[in-house]
Amino acid sequence: MSHNSYDVQQIRRDFPILEQTVHGFPLVYLDNAASNHKPLAVMDAMRHVMLHDYANVHRGVHTLSQRASEQFEQARHKVRNFIHAAHDHEIIFVRGATEGINLVAQTFGRSNISPGDRILISAMEHHANIVPWQMLRDQTGAELSIIPMAEDGSLLLDQLDALLDDRVKLVAVTHMSNALGTLNPVADIIRKAHARGIPVLLDGAQSTPHMAVDVQALDCDFFVFSGHKLYGPTGIGVLYGKTVHLENMPPWQGGGDMIRHVTFEKTTYSGLPWKFEAGTPAIIEAIGLGAAIDYLETLGMEAIARHEHELLHYATEKMLAIPGLRMVGTAEGKGGILSFTLEGIHPHDIGTILDHYGVAVRAGHHCAMPVMDFYGIPATARASLGLYNTHQDIDRLVDSIQQLIKVFH
């Protein structure tokens, strides 16, 4: 799809929730990094399966169960194509990126990490890519080490070689920072780690909505993302893992669907991917996620990325012209996240007042407290872009920030 054919006004009609007023102003939704809205196609797909085809998957011989199973597995196939995985069975459905990371920590981690080993993460991780590793550290006697970052919010990669010593057994880094917008040079990190035989997990919760992802080209060992940040439903997410890892990992949760044979003495487990999908999965949500992927592919991830980059550039320039505004996260490679502070105005006041102008932004630590500590601030206000945002949205944001500065000074 060419640049010119990206018709954002047409696209906005697919998101009826955007057509409303908040405190008397047309809604400007700029909290997409927390969660974004669902196109009608996603709602229709979820409604359709419940109206016509729903039943539990995998175990039934009856028609509805077979239809639901087909659509559920079709959703898995869509995810595989979307991130360019080699096999459907490398796609594990989980609740979200958080659960995906916990699964890897508790299976791969518990069987591969010993006392004195290291897990290497970065200074800009979301709590979801910190806490599961701290839990694993405490369970195994391992250590956590951190790739530091520079003031602009880019990783200090020149320190990576020294950090990647023999004790490191796993690298887990974010593909794109939720608090700063930094796009990390993950291909470099993976190459360096693999040169020492160290596997790499990528947290793709923020990157997947904004860019095309190719897990084989990246050569990452694990990749996680959430459906609700990808214009899909809550309660569904994906763990991608290379077959060789997934086969060697023990199951995580035990229950139905993940077994081959059970007696009271012994259980043998299902093959991939079901070994990691105990219990009835989020069937309707998986099908909704598949519909979200269809929708994104119709627009084209490249076209979405171009649109958002142009908006990011436009917004950055306009916002930096506001006196007293400090942009937090100014790395060269950035996705559509504008984290900022205003001199003398606390981010929570910014959030409340912008809301009164109909502008939805997030204010807080963005589940990245170590990032806030790095900058010596308690919080930031964060505007995050989605595929349906417009130049007018940015104008409204900037105008509202100028209004609120007047109120405060």
- Give me the active site residues, please: 367
Tell which one of 84, 309, 318, 356 touches another protein (CB under 8 A): 356
Shortest Å, Cβ 339 to another protein: 14
130 binds another protein (CB under 8 A): no
Tell which one of 82, 340, 357, 374 touches another protein (CB under 8 A): 357
Closest to another protein by CB, 269 vs 375, is 375
379 binds another protein (CB under 8 A): yes
364 binds another protein (CB under 8 A): yes
365 binds another protein (CB under 8 A): yes
286 binds another protein (CB under 8 A): no
SS (H, E, C) the chain: CCHHHCCHHHHHCCCHHHCCEECCEECEECECCCCCCCCHHHHHHHHHHHHHHCCCCCCCCCHHHHHHHHHHHHHHHHHHHHHCCCCHHHEEEECCHHHHHHHHHHHHHHHHCCCCCEEEEECCCCHHHCHHHHHHHHHHCCEEEEECECCCCCECHHHHHHHCCCCEEEEEEECECCCCCEECCHHHHHHHHHHCCCCEEEECCCCCCCCCCCHHHHCCCEEEEEHHHCCCCCCCEEEEECHHHHHHCCCCCCCCCCEEEECCCCEEECCCCHHHCCCCCCHHHHHHHHHHHHHHHHHCHHHHHHHHHHHHHHHHHHHHCCCCEEECCCCCCECCEEEEEECCECHHHHHHHHHHCCEECEEECCCCHHHHHHHCCCCEEEEECCCCCCHHHHHHHHHHHHHHHHHHC
Give the contact letters, 4-43, x = binds to another protein (CB under 8 A), - = no: -------------------xx-------------------
Shortest Å, Cβ 403 to another protein: 8
Shortest Å, Cβ 292 to another protein: 28
Closest to another protein by CB, 238 vs 368, is 368
- CB proximity list for 298: less than 8 A, separation 6 or greater: none
Closest to another protein by CB, 142 vs 342, is 342
Shortest Å, Cβ 352 to another protein: 6
Tell which one of 352, 392, 399, 402 touches another protein (CB under 8 A): 352
- Distance, in Å, from the CA atom of 41 to the CA atom of 47, rounded to the nearest integer, reads 10
Shortest Å, Cβ 364 to another protein: 6
Closest to another protein by CB, 67 vs 346, is 346
Closest to another protein by CB, 148 vs 378, is 378
Closest to another protein by CB, 116 vs 344, is 344
Q: Within a 13 Å sphere around the CA of 14, how many CA atoms are in the beta-carbon half?
A: 23
Tell which one of 145, 234, 378, 395 touches another protein (CB under 8 A): 378
Shortest Å, Cβ 348 to another protein: 4
Give the contact letters, 329-348, x = binds to another protein (CB under 8 A), - = no: ----------------xxxx
349 binds another protein (CB under 8 A): yes
371 binds another protein (CB under 8 A): no
Residues that bind another protein (CB under 8 A): 23-24, 345-349, 352-353, 356-357, 363-365, 369, 372, 378-379, 407-408
